[in-house]
Amino acid sequence: MSQQITFIGGGNMASAMVAGLLEAGTSPSDLRIVEPGKARRLELQERFEVGTTVDLVEACRRASIIVLAVKPDVVPVVAKQIADAIVLEGKLVISIAAGTTTAVLEEILGELVAILRAMPNSPATFGLGATGFYANRHVSAAHLDQAMDILSSIGLSLRFPTETQLDAVTAVAGSGPAYFFLLMEEMVRAGQNLGLAAEDARRLTLQTALGAARMAADTELTFCELRQRVTSPGGTTHAAVSCLQQAGFGQIINEAMTRARDRAIEMGRTLA
């Protein structure tokens, strides 16, 4: 990728993107990170051998792609600094700030600026993320290709036609890792209650989760079909799954994810 990319913020998500881009063949000279913390700047320089700076305006002036990777409450301040100093038309601005809508960004950066809002989840820091994104009307086909190169460097990336769908993406993928961690946590606890040592229960649970994910990823079978294949009528798995279903497992998951979606909507309104 020959485009100059500037990351505003040198946190975990920006670091994951930089690492993914470098692994994919992007030259370090094409990447720049704006980071106010001196110790963090030095750490990023040593780790990635990319340019780092505190000069927000100059870094954005030189860039064709700007990635806003700062906390949501910082976005308006940073965006205004950029918009007041340089012409953004022709550049692509990618925001990964949770809850910050394109309408908010357009109001600050300008209505003619190409803006893409992306919602990566925490496994992106390991290159295994799931990201949903929405692009405003000024994002061109070339911009989309550039954005896909960046977002695909941290895992799966899916485009959605409406921005409101990103709230559902948050419920499924953004908050999703915590659902699995909670299930694993409870499986370990139950294993201990059944007589297993804590470490044995943890290792068995972790390997089972990894194995189940690999089975699901490496087949065209639906999750339902996979579950049915490993659930023999009258067997141990059938007894456990029936217990979960009778306790309203599906309804609980649906209600939990709906609450996550609704909270995402509330947060977006608050930031707006």
CATH number (domain holding residue 249): 1.10.3730.10
CA–CA gap between residue 104 and residue 59 (Å, rounded): 22
Same domain (yes/no): 249, 149: no
Q: Are residues 130 and 182 in the same domain?
A: no
Q: What is the pLDDT of residue 2?
A: 60
Q: What Å distances lie between residue 129 and 59, 203, 268, CA to CA?
A: 27, 23, 22
Last residue of a domain, one of 139, 166, 193: 166
Look up the pTM and report it.
0.91
The CA-to-CA distance between both ends of the chain, in Å, stands at 34
Q: Which residues contact 36 (CB under 8 A, 6 or more apart)?
A: 54
Residue 138 has pLDDT above 70, yes or no: yes
Question: Does one domain contain both 25 and 100?
Answer: yes
Last residue of one domain, picked from the residues 132, 166, 200: 166
Question: From the CB of residue 208, how many other CB atoms can be counted at a distance below 10 Å?
Answer: 12
Confidence of residue 270 (pLDDT cuts 50, 70, 90): confident
Closest CA to 22 of 48, 59, 46: 48
131, 246: one domain: no
Domain boundary (145, 166, 187) is at 166
**Using CA atoms, how far apart are residues 80 and 53, in angstroms rounded to an integer?**
19
Report strand pairing: 51-53 vs 114-119. Answer: unpaired
What pLDDT digit, counting tens, does each position of 140-165 carry?
999 999 999 999 999 999 999 999 99
- In this structure, the dihedral spanned by the alpha carbons of residues 223, 225, 230 and 182, taken in order and rounded to 10 degrees, is 20
Residues 118 and 187 in one domain: no
Residue 171 lies in a domain: no
* Residue 209 predicted with pLDDT over 70: yes
Do 58 and 150 lie in one domain? The reply is yes
What is the tally of structural domains in the chain? 2
Band of residue 268 on the pLDDT scale cut at 50, 70, 90: confident
* pLDDT given at position 1: 44
Examine the domain organization and report whether 197 and 263 are in the same domain: yes
Confidence of residue 77 (pLDDT cuts 50, 70, 90): very high
Assigned domain for 189 exists: yes
Summarize pLDDT for 8-24 with one digit per residue, the tens. Answer: 999 999 999 999 999 99
Domain that holds residue 85: 5-166
Query: How do residues 49-62 score in pLDDT, each as one tens digit?
Result: 999 999 999 999 99
Asked whether the predicted pLDDT for residue 272 surpasses 80, the reply is: no
Residues 103 and 187 in one domain: no
In a domain, 272, yes or no: no
pLDDT-derived band at 269 (thresholds 50, 70, 90) equals: confident
15 and 109 belong to one structural domain: yes
Over the stretch 101-129, which tens digit does the pLDDT of each residue have? 999 999 999 999 999 999 999 999 999 99
Domain with residue 86: its CATH number is: 3.40.50.720
